[in-house]
């Protein structure tokens, strides 16, 4: 079974060909350099860029000898995402499906992220997926491969957004996650340098839901209060202290999830924030579980995860 997966929900245009259990090819175009000039994604710009990028992708796939006539189905991201961006991907998928007379499979982007963990590994179920990106912060529980349940989500901002906002306030640039991650890898704070930000969302009613905006406000207030002293040392102390608070928070949430669902066999991490070294290490530290952190190209938005999710959808339909 050969499935073409097309992703365009945000600012990445990506197409991959899945042949049974392996990704034969994947071509992705990021727009990060363009949006970095504006300090964030401009939806109108994103859809216009997608139009150009899908044309490049098509040329690239053809030059690699990909024969669309042998594809069995074409999957695309239907939702959620930026409406204009989704529309471009849908039109690209529809044009290919019409021209080559192939069935179209609509895929939920979040299911795509969940299945990114299965691209190169067999998952042992039940699986708990932690999806952390610029648009989403969620726990997805799959007791079986065909029962994906949202068991926790952010009540306000997504974690990637928080990294970006704090880095911007600190003058570190966009996207903020990699900048804060780099400082955290390069420097270790001593106890007098560490700022004690409060771990967010400790209200027991929150269960597995997240709330990041309180921590964001705390950090931003701290920056404002100390703006006269904001040299590179202070910048570093704030960024690293924020990172440490996030680790404590994620750890407490994962621990709670494991208490609520002791049957969990596998813990996975997905989404762009999964690039964060300390968060990856946190996931790997759960040695009593199988832990899966996909390759970076499958953590950020990509066509392979959409093809994989479509494959699983077909397996379910044929059961």
2/136 with CB nearer ligand KG4: 136
Is 294 one of the binding residues for ligand KG4 (CB under 6 A)?
no
- Cα–Cα distance between 140 and 117 in angstroms, integer? 12
Give whichever of 257 and 306 is closer to Zn ion, judged by the CB atom: 306
For Zn ion, the binding residues (CB under 5 A) are 133, 301
Map the footprint of ligand KG4 across residues 159-178, applying CB under 6 A: 160-161, 163-164, 175-178
271 binds ligand KG4 per the rule CB under 6 A: yes
As measured in angstroms, the least distance from the Cβ of 199 to ligand KG4 is: 18
Residue nearer to ligand KG4 on the CB measure, 73 or 132 = 132
Q: Does 214 bind ligand KG4 (CB under 6 A)?
A: no
Specify the stretch interacting with ligand KG4 by CB under 6 A; choose among 96-104, 148-156, 257-265, 269-277.
269-277
- Report the 10 Å Cβ neighbour count for 159: 27
For residue 157, the partner it binds in ligand KG4, Zn ion, none, with Cβ less than 5 to 8 A by kind, is: none
Q: How far is the CB of 131 from Zn ion (least distance, A)?
A: 8
Cis peptide bond upstream of 260, omega within 30: no
Give the shortest CB-133-to-ligand KG4 separation in angstroms. Answer: 3
Round to whole Å and give the CA distance between 174 and 23: 31
Write the DSSP string, 72-126: -EEEEEEESS-HHHHHHHHHHHHHHHHHHT--EEEEEHHHHHHHHTTSSSPPPSS
Q: Are strands 22-29 and 73-79 parallel, antiparallel or unpaired?
A: unpaired
Contact 215, 198 (CB under 8 A): yes
272 binds ligand KG4 (CB under 6 A): yes
220 sits in which H/E element: helix 213-225
135 binds ligand KG4 (CB under 6 A): yes
Sheet strands (E) in the chain: 2-7, 13-19, 22-29, 73-79, 104-108, 127-132, 137-142, 148-153, 266-270, 290-292
User: Which of 275, 293, 305, 307 touches ligand KG4 by CB under 6 A?
Assistant: 275
Query: By beta-carbon distance, which residue lies closest to Zn ion?
Result: 301
Give the footprint of ligand KG4 on this chain (CB under 6 A): 10, 133-135, 160-161, 163-164, 175-178, 181, 271-273, 275-276, 300-301
């Amino acid at each position: 079974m050969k499935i073409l997966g097309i992703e365009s929900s945000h600012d990445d245009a990506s197409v991959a060909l899945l042949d049974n259990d392996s990704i034969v090819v994947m071509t992705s175009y990021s727009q990060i350099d363009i949006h970095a000039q504006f300090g964030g994604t401009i939806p109108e710009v994103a859809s216009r860029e997608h139009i150009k990028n899908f044309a490049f992708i098509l040329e690239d796939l053809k030059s690699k000898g990909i024969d669309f006539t042998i594809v069995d189905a074409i999957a695309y991201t239907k939702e959620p995402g930026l409406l204009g961006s989704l529309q471009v991907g849908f039109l690209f998928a529809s044009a290919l499906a019409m021209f080559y007379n192939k069935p179209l499979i609509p895929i939920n982007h979040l299911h795509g992220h969940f299945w990114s963990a299965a691209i190169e590994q067999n998952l042992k179920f039940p699986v708990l997926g932690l999806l952390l990106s610029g648009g989403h912060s969620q726990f997805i529980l799959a007791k079986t491969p065909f029962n994906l349940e949202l068991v926790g989500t952010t009540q306000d901002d997504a974690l990637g957004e928080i990294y970006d906002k704090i880095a911007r306030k600190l003058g570190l640039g966009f996207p903020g996650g990699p900048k804060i991650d780099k400082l955290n890898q390069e420097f270790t704070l001593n106890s007098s340098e560490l700022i004690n930000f409060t771990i967010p969302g400790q209200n027991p009613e929150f269960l597995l839901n997240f709330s990041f905006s309180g921590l964001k406000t705390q950090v931003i207030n701290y920056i404002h209060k100390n703006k006269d002293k904001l040299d590179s040392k202070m910048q570093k102390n704030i960024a690293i202290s924020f990172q440490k608070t996030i680790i404590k928070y994620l750890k407490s949430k994962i621990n709670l999830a494991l208490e609520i669902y002791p049957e969990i066999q596998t813990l996975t991490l997905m989404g762009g924030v999964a690039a964060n070294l300390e968060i990856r290490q946190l996931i790997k530290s759960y040695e009593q579980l199988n832990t899966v952190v996909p390759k970076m190209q499958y953590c950020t938005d990509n066509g392979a995860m959409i093809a994989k999710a479509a494959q699983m959808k077909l397996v379910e339909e044929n059961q």
